[in-house]
Amino acid sequence: MDAKEKQVQVRFSTKLPPELQVANTPFSVPSHLTRYGLSEVINALLGLEKPKPFDFIVEGDLIRTSLEKLLLAKNLSAETILNIEYTPALVPPQLQASHKGEDWFSAVNGSNSRYVFTGSYDGIARGWRANGQCSFSLEGHNEAITSVAVMPTEDESTMELLTASKDRSLRFWQITDQGLPDSLTKRAAASKVLKGHSSSVQCVSASPSGNECCSGSWDSTILLWHLSAKSSIDEEHTIIKRRKLDDYATPNTFEEVEVAPRCTLKGHTQCVSSVEWVEAETVFSASWDHSLRGWNVEAEVNNLTISCSKALHCLSVGGEGSSLLAAAGADPIIRIWDPRMPGTVAPIQQLTSHKSWISVCKWHRRSPYHLLSASHDGSVKVWDIRSKIPLQSLEGHKDKVMCADWWKGDSIVSGGADCQLQIYSNLRVN
């Protein structure tokens, strides 16, 4: 053995099924080994025919350097046994489908497992299947759609969709499989129009309960809307107007119901760029006035304010315990705050790799560590917050990426200013 070669005692552990587990005995490995070397070691120990890449976690951080440097950085003794957890590494996703639209995609939502809903600058919301085929389109907005949200429903066959638009209104769409038009040319109509904002609506989020939503706008207010499908007439907060509407394309007349907001949350001084309804009573919002706010919906009070130095464009709540706030905006840094810590001011983590403004960041719906972000530099990046370097960088777009979302747990949908809607799949995040 080379005298210079240092050895490190390691013990591997994993949460993977038993066939991918190695013996719980300490191994002695050379200290210059990096992630790739360790992955080879595990592959050799498991005796896999097809090599499988693994990622290694030491004290909550992914190994991105050699073990030697890691020990120095973490100030650990080389004498003790190092506990390393390994997980399957994220393989580069494959471009499953790409569709060239007619206009910029401004919003995408992957909450529904069957369809991807997008909104675009031509004011039409569309539903897409996994193969990149547009299965239906929802027309009604006069201006660009800025945000799309999906109402959680118990019934699989009905889909409830919310779209926010620059025409100062939101629309609520109910689509059932039966009523779904077969061909692309057929259009569904909105069942409710939510009017109350005095300026462009920038974002919308549905409540987990499924009958309420909130929206943020350029008029710096957050409006809460009550959208009970059945008994909306009875609600005292909603004023209902019925009017005959001649739809421009179809001769048949629809009944459009106008809904007024239930209440207004005031506190932001500038455009509310992103809202997220997390729990039954909690709404988080991000704004251009450099602040993140938490609201109690029942009491209609602002109970949390975190200020940042930059204007914020996007917000996502998720991660560990579904309580971390990831927000980004007019700079290339994603900042993550933990609002559970008292007196939260400074972000607990900053992720830096983008080159331009970040248009969207989204936590993975199940994984507490994974995050995706899309930026004006044309890239979509997948992050593991245990590592400072992005896991994957998807450079498929030729222009600004305006929107991106996770879909079905292992796919990423992104749309951009190059009118492309791209679906990457086979991204095994657990």
DSSP 334-402: EEEE-TTSTT--S-SEEEE--SS-EEEEEE-SS-SSEEEEEETTS-EEEEETTSSS-SEEE---SS-EE
Residue closer to another protein by CB (options 65, 199) is 199
Q: Does 289 bind another protein (CB under 8 A)?
A: yes
**Footprint of another protein on residues 150-169 (CB under 8 A)?**
168
Both tokens of residue 270?
A: 């500038």
Residue closer to another protein by CB (options 267, 409) is 267
The number of beta carbons lying within 10 Å of the beta carbon of residue 250 is 12
Q: How far is CA 133 from CA 96, 188, 371, in A?
A: 12, 17, 26
**Footprint of another protein on residues 225-284 (CB under 8 A)?**
270-271, 273
Residue closer to another protein by CB (options 184, 346) is 346
CB 236 within 8 A of CB 217: no
**Footprint of another protein on residues 338-357 (CB under 8 A)?**
356-357
Residue closer to another protein by CB (options 62, 144) is 144
The number of beta carbons lying within 10 Å of the beta carbon of residue 340 is 10
- Residues paired with residue 136 on neighbouring β-strands, in sequence order: 127
Binding residue for another protein, selected from 402, 412, 413, 423, defined by CB under 8 A: 402
Q: How far is the CB of 312 from another protein (least distance, A)?
A: 11
Stretches 85-93, 247-255, 306-314, 338-346: which one binds another protein (CB under 8 A)? 306-314
Q: How far is the CB of 105 from another protein (least distance, A)?
A: 11
Residue found under tokens 């938490």: 294
Closest CA to 270 of 308, 319, 309, 220: 220
**Footprint of another protein on residues 109-138 (CB under 8 A)?**
121
Residue found under tokens 């950085």: 73
Q: How many residues bind to another protein according to rule CB under 8 A?
A: 29
Q: Does 310 bind another protein (CB under 8 A)?
A: yes
Binding residue for another protein, selected from 10, 57, 144, 328, defined by CB under 8 A: 144
**By the criterion CB under 8 A, which residues form the site for another protein?**
104, 106, 121, 144, 168, 197-200, 218, 270-271, 273, 288-289, 309-311, 313, 330-332, 356-357, 359, 376, 400, 402, 417
